[in-house]
Structure 1
Amino acid sequence: MKNINLIFLTIILVGCAQKEEKTERIQTSNLQEQLQITVEDSLAIKNIINIQSKSGNFEEREKIWAEDGRWLQAFGRVFYGKDTITSFEKYLHANAGFATSFVSVRRDPEIKFLRPDVVVVHQYHEREGQVINEVVTPTRRINTTYIITKENGTWQLRDKVTMDERERTTN
């Protein structure tokens, strides 16, 4: 009976040791994935955000969008495809009500690599002086979330969601 208990205990200990080794391999694997995020990748992501945030160069803007990109803008319109998105961006920037507005606050983007080839970015900014329907809007507090993926070695903006913060009412 003692031999059976000893054998059973040995099997349990060996099983636990193998489980520990497997866990160690998984942690090492995740660490290796994290190390694959290069300085060049981080700079490419920041460049995409800068182009989206600051650039009036529509050729640059067009290059960063994936062919099947999607943009859900703050007023509920959804644009599909690089050509449609950049066409609307040109229209928006040419609009006198938008052109008179300016960004008064822009926070640094929060960049989160979900995988070495998938990034989610959040950025906040405030826009003042925008004229909509002949009325100057109050300061817009705008949150934008970007999904950016690496396709064939190139980072592309795949999805953009823009939202205005609203005052909360108590009911």
Structure 2
Amino acid sequence: MRYLNILILVFIVFSCAQKEENSNSASEPDKQEELQPSVEDTLAIKNIIDIQKKSKNFEEREKIWAEDGRWLQAFGRVFKGKDSIINFIKILHNNPGYSASTVNKYGEPEIKFLRPDVAVVHQYHEREGQIINEVVTPTRKINTTYLITKENGTWLLRDKVTMDERDRTKN
């Protein structure tokens, strides 16, 4: 009798777990359907990425950053706060070594909505002719990841991480 009770208990627990798993998998498509972005949201995010590509429009750049935004740039410096970020962008774009360079390739931004008000964007570009320490650098293959949130109806850039690809050396 004792074994029969244990067997019944195991059967009940297994049945409940199976029902929970089925209900979780059934609700998964619903979550994906909720994350279908509007055309307006997608365009607003693409606009933020386009503004990032403009070299000297600092007023427009300032409008897209959240007050407490953060940027980890490709050389390891971290800038916190919109004012700090914009000040560095002005310095960067006025630097002759940076100004001498050009972008010859921009990849299409890859936008992934995590929630209706949160998106992660990845974009690739290549920069040629940048002069660092009086040396023309090889073509920089740059990946940037953006975290963009919608606050009070406005999409704002909250976090930006920029990183150069490196060739792997054989060990």
Superposed displacement of residue 54, structure 1:
2.7
> One-letter code of the match for 1:107?
G
Aligned length: 160
Q: Taking every aligned residue pair, what percent have the same amino acid on both sides?
A: 69
CA contact (8 A) 2:55 2:93 kept: no
Task: State yes or no: 1:148 paired with 2:120.
Answer: no
Whole-Å Cα distance in 1 between the matches of residues 150 and 112 of structure 2? 14
- Give the secondary-structure state (helix, strand or coil) at the position aligned to 1:168: coil
In structure 1, what is the equivalent of residue 106 of structure 2?
106
Output the TM-score relative to the length of structure 1: 0.84
Structure 2 regions of 5+ residues with no counterpart? 1-7
> Which 10-residue stretch deviates more, 51-60 or 97-106?
51-60
CA contact (8 A) 1:44 1:155 kept: yes
Whole-Å Cα distance in 2 between the matches of residues 85 and 77 of structure 1? 11
CA contact (8 A) 1:111 1:119 kept: yes
In structure 1, what is the equivalent of residue 27 of structure 2?
26
Superposed displacement of residue 33, structure 1:
1.8
Task: State yes or no: 1:66 paired with 2:61.
Answer: no
Whole-Å Cα distance in 1 between the matches of residues 29 and 131 of structure 2? 54
**Deviation per residue, 1:22-48 (Å, 9 max, x gap):** 55873464255224x211000000000
Structure 1 regions of 5+ residues with no counterpart? 1-7
Whole-Å Cα distance in 2 between the matches of residues 22 and 65 of structure 1? 40
In structure 1, what is the equivalent of residue 138 of structure 2?
138
Superposed displacement of residue 53, structure 1:
1.8
Superposed displacement of residue 104, structure 1:
1.0
Whole-Å Cα distance in 2 between the matches of residues 96 and 138 of structure 1? 17
- RMSD of aligned Cα (Å): 2.3
Whole-Å Cα distance in 1 between the matches of residues 22 and 136 of structure 2? 63
Output the TM-score relative to the length of structure 2: 0.84
Superposed displacement of residue 85, structure 1:
0.1
Whole-Å Cα distance in 1 between the matches of residues 95 and 89 of structure 2? 10
In structure 2, what is the equivalent of residue 78 of structure 1?
78
CA contact (8 A) 1:110 1:122 kept: yes
Gap change, CA 1:87 and 1:24, over 3 Å in 2: same
